[in-house]
Structure formats: C-alpha cells, structure tokens
Chains A and B, each alone.
Chain A
C-alpha cells in the first residue's frame, strides 16, 4: 500500500512540475522581452549618467561666468561714476567762471558808462561809441549758457541715478547663481550611486557663491512708481491713515 501511495505522490509532483513547465513556457517570452528591454535601457541609463556628470561639471563654469558678469558690470559702473563725477566737478568750475565773467561784464558796463560821460561829444567819437556799443558783450549770452549748464548737470545726475540698475541686476544674478546651486544639488543627489569623486570635485565652488540673504531674488529695475506708492500707502496704514482693502489692492 505504501508503494502505491508513493507513486501517487510522485504523479502529483510530476503534474505540479508539468504545470510549472507550462507556465514557464508562457513566461519565457515575457522574460525574453524583459531582457531585451533591459538591453535597450542600460545604454540609455549610461547616457543619462554621463549627461548628469557632464551637466554637473558645467555648473561651476556657469557660476563663474555669472560672477564675472557681476564684477565686470560693477567695474564698468564705477568707471562711469568716476567720469560722471569728473564731469560734474568740471561743470561746477565752468559755472563759477561764467558767474565771474558775468560780474566782470556788469562792472565793465558800469565803467564804460562813466568813460562815455567823460568823452566830449563830436561826430567822430560819437560814431566810435555807436560802433562800440553795437558790439554785443558776453552778458546777453550768459542766461542761455547757465540754462544749458543746468540741463547738462541734471542729465549727468540722471545718468548717476540710472546706474542703480547695476545693484539691481547684480542681485538678480546672485539669485540665478543660487538657482543654479539648487539644480547642482539635485543633480548631485541623483549621482550618489556614481563615482562620488565627481561630486567631491565641486566642494570648493560653494564657498565663492553669495550667501542667501545678501540679495533680493525679486529685485527689479523699473521707472514705475507703483512699488513706492504701494509702500507709501502701507506706511500710512501703519499710522491708521489707510484702509486694509486699499493696501491689499495695491499689493495684489
């Protein structure tokens, strides 16, 4: 009896094996497909890895270029400010000289009047006096010159004010550097399973970046007074002069 039982168990096991084989037959193409897919995917993953390495290696260069732009514009702005200051000083000197000329001209006219009174009237001297007085002095031109001086001085000052753009763009560039830094951090975390020497090589480049809080990512250069007006309304409101609705409308 025991022999029959063993045989039955053997057949049962063989049947189970048969089912497994049949199932395997169905599974083999799927496994084959999976193998094919992996064969295709591995080069793709390698491409992604090498792209990550390449992209990450370019980040310090991009960062340096942005820093160079900031330094170059600051240097150029300083040079412009030096020139503008020199022009302003020269304009002041010219203005003082013109004012002095004006005083001398008035003095000359006063003295001329006295001289004229002492010259005896006769046709030849009268004609010379008439010819001399027909010559215009500097005096009539001085108001026009002063007007031009004032305009040039205002224009020069307006150039100075426009240079505020340098401070604002340098803050915008610092914000871009931080954005690049955050991208680099994300890439570095993706590369953790690669050779970590690729990541370590950038450790020092962090030290040269502007620290957070030293720039305003929302800095903008605009001629509009909208932002100042909104600030003024808010300041008034702090002194209970403006309604909350008015403030919310301005900052929306």
Chain B
C-alpha cells in the first residue's frame, strides 16, 4: 500500500523529527501542516493523502478538533489517523479514541513505536 502522510504539528522541530523517522522507515511521501486548520485545507485540496499523523495541542484548530472534522466529513472519514502527543492521561486518551483516532502515541516517541503503530493501522489484525 502506497502511503502519503500528512504530518500536522505546530512545532517545526517535531514535524522534522516525524518526517525523518518516516524516511528511516522507508516512506518518502509527505505533506506538512502547522495546525488543524491548515491540515483540513490540505486534506480537502489533496485527495491522495491517506494517512494523518497529528499532534493534539495546536493553535486555531486543535488535533482533536481536526480528528472530529475528518470523521465528520464524508470524503475524508476513512483516513487513517495516528495521534502523536504529550498528553498521556487516561481521560485524554479516551477522548481521542472516542473521536475515532486509529492509534495513539505519547511523546517522546521511539522509531519502534512509530513503526509498530503505523503497521497496526495499515495491517489491522
């Protein structure tokens, strides 16, 4: 399966780290966005994106709001979404899962965890 990633994070550093990690996993097709609003615009403009990796805490439109918007939009609702965030408390994880993220990573992440979560999403058992 050919994956085109949208990496959403307000931190330039984190976007670069996620993209470097994806490159290390031999993926080479990425788009970036600095917040949920920019991400939605890019998703609506580019229907070839099929995997979203998003932070939670962002200005304008948060990661959680982005997930809800994606799931509520008929043309985007089937996208794979992996949330990568510092928020590790139970209530937050439940809220994200209820919003229908496919999987959840607590920062700081390791490349193994990133690979494992992407694999779980694209090859669900």
Contacts and interface: CB of A to CB of B under 8 A. Distances in A.
Interface of A: 74, 77-78, 81, 85, 157, 160-161, 163-168, 170-171, 210-211, 213-216, 218-222, 225, 227-228, 230-231, 234-235, 238, 247, 251
A164 B97 contact: no
A165 B90 contact: no
Contacts of A210: 59
Given A160-B17, A167-B107, A251-B89, 9 more contacts: A74-B11, A157-B24, A213-B57, A216-B57, A216-B86, A220-B86, A227-B88, A231-B93, A234-B94
A222 B107 CA distance: 9
B104 A235 contact: yes
Contact of A161 (B62, B105, B111): B111
Contacts, number: 99
A34 B87 CA distance: 56
Contact of A222 (B13, B103, B108): B108
Interface string B1-18: 000000001111110110
Interface residues of B, number: 35
A214 to B, nearest CB: 5
B109 interface: yes
Dominant secondary structure at the B interface: mixed
B20 interface: yes
23 contacts: A74-B12, A78-B13, A78-B16, A157-B111, A161-B108, A161-B109, A163-B17, A164-B107, A164-B108, A167-B11, A213-B62, A214-B57, A214-B59, A216-B56, A216-B86, A219-B107, A222-B108, A228-B88, A230-B90, A231-B88, A234-B93, A235-B93, A238-B94
Residue picked from A164, A170, A211, A247, most chain B C-beta under 10 Å: A164
B31 interface: no
Contacts of B10: 214
Interface of B: 9-14, 16-17, 20-21, 24, 56-59, 62, 85-90, 93-94, 97, 103-111, 113
A24 to B, nearest CB: 66
Identify the 6 closest CB pairs spanning chains A and B, nearest first: A219-B86, A227-B88, A164-B108, A251-B90, A167-B11, A216-B86
Contacts of A215: 57
Nearest to A252: B90
Contacts of A171: 57, 86
Residue picked from A165, A213, A216, most chain B C-beta under 10 Å: A216
Given A231-B104, A251-B89, A166 B11 contact: yes
